[in-house]
Amino acid sequence: MDIAGRNTGVADGVARTALLVAAARAIETHRADALASDPYAEHFVRAEPACAGWPLRPREVPAGEADPLWGRLGRYFGLRTRVMDDFLLDAVRAGVRQLVVLGAGLDTRALRLPWPAGCVVFELDREPVLAFKRRVLAELPPGHGSGAEAAVRVGLAADLREPWEAPLLRSGFDPTAPTAWLAEGLLLYLPAAAERRLIDTVDRLSAAGSFLAYEIKLGVESAEVRASPVYVAARRRIGVDLLALFDREPRPDSAGALADRGWTPEVHSPFGFARRHGRGPLPQAPDALAANRWVFARRR
């Protein structure tokens, strides 16, 4: 429940991870060496009483970079935000004008990135998450934000474990135009069948020149990794049991499926981007981030 007693629908389960990411983005925004800026993120966290006491500034993280939750995992989310921002802006520079954010959560790219005229961002997620997001944004004072040219936002209620093509098409999405698709922090939580269906749908709706970025985990992590400080801190300190939320089924080879259908996928470890930017997590043992991969694909 929120302060006014309304059910937000974001305090439990996978949706709660959207608040975790929002808090991490707020902290990143206020770092002296920030990789990304999200002026909206802290307002989502403040609007949910279940997040009272979560840090929103670097000075509120006593252990700083050494903190496994708000330091290491938080910097991971900051790095991921920057890399996915760059990916989408590259797609726009290549001529894409419609973007689809799958499992959008509290993503505000439609508002904070410098879009050219004519961009439309379709945001798909469950209705309680979208409703919470709409309310928080509507209550912000006039003029709040990044000063960027906002894209047109189209929120679509959808359970991405089920078919979602029809509402997207009804909302004005054009499958004959190139699209930039983003599934940031989504596939980790979906059953294998839902991941296959998502990749199938994206492929079917993507014209030549389309882009896709998503995140996966490779295989099942060892008992030692599952006991790593990142997972323990998230569970004990903020009540987010990531391991319980991750789907445990063997994962499909989605990058391979895309390659078979004429896409050009690239699979990257986030550590390479951390070295490139000079910020972000680097390998350590036991490492909850070692199995994470970011996949970027383009349809020629």
Per-residue model confidence as pLDDT tens digits over 26-37:
999 999 999 999
How far is Cα 58 from Cα 33, in angstroms, rounded to an integer? 11
Residue 143, Cβ density class (10 Å: 0-12 exposed, 13-18 middle, ≥19 buried): exposed
Asked if residue 1 is part of any domain, the answer here is: no
Question: φ, ψ for residue 298 (rounded to 5)?
Answer: -135, 140
Asked if residue 4 is part of any domain, the answer here is: no
CATH code of the domain in which 185 resides? 3.40.50.150
Asked if residue 49 is part of any domain, the answer here is: yes
How far is Cα 150 from Cα 5, in angstroms, rounded to an integer? 31
Asked if residue 8 is part of any domain, the answer here is: no
Domain hosting residue 223, numbered range: 13-299
C-beta neighbour count of 212 within 10 angstroms: 26
pLDDT given at position 181 = 98
What is the C-alpha R_g of the chain? 18
Q: Which residues sit opposite 212 in a β-bridge?
A: 181, 297
pLDDT given at position 145 = 74
pLDDT given at position 4 = 29
Asked if residue 103 is part of any domain, the answer here is: yes
Distances (CA, A) of 210 to 114, 172, 272: 20, 17, 24
Query: Residue type for 253, please?
Result: D
pLDDT < 70 stretches in the chain: 1-13, 146-149
- Residue 218 token pair: 């490779």
Look at the chain and report how many structural domains it folds into: 1
Asked if residue 44 is part of any domain, the answer here is: yes
Q: Which residues sit opposite 265 in a β-bridge?
A: 297
pLDDT given at position 2 = 29
Contact 204, 212 (CB under 8 A): no
pLDDT given at position 147 = 60
pLDDT given at position 67 = 97
Asked if residue 2 is part of any domain, the answer here is: no
The 10s digit of each residue's pLDDT in 2-24 is: 222 234 556 666 789 999 999 99
Query: Residue type for 91, please?
Result: A
pLDDT given at position 3 = 28
Asked if residue 178 is part of any domain, the answer here is: yes
